[in-house]
Structure 1
């Protein structure tokens, strides 16, 4: 952690280049950057100060971790105790989620280790609700990355993969109701609809074709504008396997016609 530019330079030197820079509060990759050379140091500091959701302030400098894959383990704390959704695999671009799928295939040792870490982290934080715990997995080794104390973007796949989505689970837990069971319905995938431009008029067109294949759904978020890039919707798909679900979501996405007026 670094609170000012001098501390930041010292942290980069201690961690080494390349390294990742993040504001202490961020989402969708805002304010995050990668330092690849010494010339990037000042630029990355500026990005973190201007792009973080909490404004200027402390930043985090992280070293790179070699891992096989990354997961989100949605962890629910309710009056009934702690429960876990099936692990979610995902792909990010520039710190922002683009694809997710459930379940991510894991061996039993790695899955148990992930649940143990998620339980420790969420027990330490306390409170009721859903937590998006992000973890790196390398073989049987699991390394904690970060946690979001709310429904997670990669967890939007649960709107089609579970009987109770991450939003329903969060609401149930927060209102003091029990979560006795989370029923997984089958292999599923999501594809984020990210729009680039500067407009208050974004049209999602050709939806008849997008939704023509069985097992495909779409959510349009109704956000009023886009400046730069913004996630404006998500395509959801379910199939007999994760691979089929991901391919189906991608086919639907390819049919979507986004117009920026």
Structure 2
């Protein structure tokens, strides 16, 4: 029988980490939130906050060894994975595993694993190490193509290339926005798909796999804008996605939730990407499901039962973005955003804003999906991020 409290250390303390911390605290856990900057969202609800360069192996090992947590939960990709491997060998659990964290932080490793080892359907792709190789790849695949850094997240450095003269700029942008030092990009064919889904996949300690009902989502420049649940999908499409999600998560191993993304076309289901943690599109589960993706992640980590996963209402989310740079933030319009029944607003608590930064999310439920989407959109539009010149 489990004895509580358990001590969990979050490596990355953004909005998703904040919700993981809240779910863990509700189960009596002690939470240590780590990030590179002060007052990150998860730090505001954690027991202890640590500021450090998590890409520095020595710093990361020192912080982990000073607390010796029961579990380490990576919430971002920019980590010294060699340190995690060493810590795991010393007996501290890394979620899902140090190996899975290392593979999924690089697009080339997870894509090669999915395509070459597991033979999953993926978009055609070519790696390139200079702009000439990008041009060659684009010619081979046929324009238009997508150019992405090997290491990045939330669509950073991603370009949609329609004509050859845009390639040089796309190459430069991919290098500039890549996480860490990167000298390689992935050039991917542009797929004509009907829609995209996230299949939240939960691996439990007994080896079994559970799935949330699939989530539809809208992206702009590779970054999440809106999501909804349930999404209309055929039984055969769902089964195909579940088979692929189970195959890739079993190969990665460990426990916890994985956000597995797919393109859906009339002919097939195509593997896109995978995150070994709660997914931003899954924020909708905070209003749609009886157990949110964050509750499910923590239960799987702690080896607690998950009797069922139920969607209670058609639900939707819409991100709240900053339209300006703010050194200190305040918000206007929240009272207007909450006027309609069945809506919620989550303000992430980021201390500053840049133009286009995700600062919150509007959640809505209704009798139909269309109504929920309209509610979420209207709610998000009403919230304005402004410079805080009003508080001390």
TM-score, normalised to structure 1, is: 0.93
Which residue does the alignment assign to 2:127? 2
SS at match of 1:198: coil
Which residue does the alignment assign to 1:27? 153
2:185 is the alignment partner of 1:185: no
Q: RMSD of the TM alignment (CA)?
A: 1.7
**Greater relative contact order structure (CA < 8 Å, 6+ sep):** 1
Query: What is the rounded CA distance, in whole Å, between the counterparts of 2:311 and 2:374 in structure 1?
Result: 20
CA radius of gyration, larger in: 2
Query: What is the rounded CA distance, in whole Å, between the counterparts of 2:356 and 2:181 in structure 1?
Result: 19
Query: Greater share of strand residues, 1 or 2?
Result: 1
Which residue does the alignment assign to 2:216? 89
Which residue does the alignment assign to 1:62? 188
**1:39 Cα shift?**
1.2
1:15-64 Cα offsets, whole Å, 9 max, x none, are 22210011123222111111221111111111111112344233211001
Q: 4+ runs of 1 displaced by more than 6 Å?
A: none
2:275 is the alignment partner of 1:148: yes
Which residue does the alignment assign to 1:237? 364
**1:3 Cα shift?**
5.3
2:229 is the alignment partner of 1:102: yes
CA contact (8 A) 2:287 2:315 kept: yes
Query: What is the rounded CA distance, in whole Å, between the counterparts of 1:159 and 1:54 in structure 2?
Result: 32
CA contact (8 A) 2:128 2:187 kept: no
Correspondence list, 1:145-224, <5 A:
145-224=272-351
Q: Where in structure 1 are there 5+ consecutive unaligned residues?
A: none
CA contact (8 A) 1:110 1:140 kept: no
Query: What is the rounded CA distance, in whole Å, between the counterparts of 1:63 and 1:240 in structure 2?
Result: 38
CA contact (8 A) 2:344 2:362 kept: yes
TM-score, normalised to structure 2, is: 0.63
Q: Where in structure 2 are there 5+ consecutive unaligned residues?
A: 1-125
CA contact (8 A) 2:322 2:384 kept: no
**1:127 Cα shift?**
1.5
CA contact (8 A) 1:161 1:188 kept: yes
**1:140 Cα shift?**
5.2
SS at match of 1:14: helix
Query: What is the rounded CA distance, in whole Å, between the counterparts of 1:257 and 1:68 in structure 2?
Result: 32
Query: What is the rounded CA distance, in whole Å, between the counterparts of 2:367 and 2:355 in structure 1?
Result: 37
Aligned residue pairs: how many?
261
Which residue does the alignment assign to 2:65? none
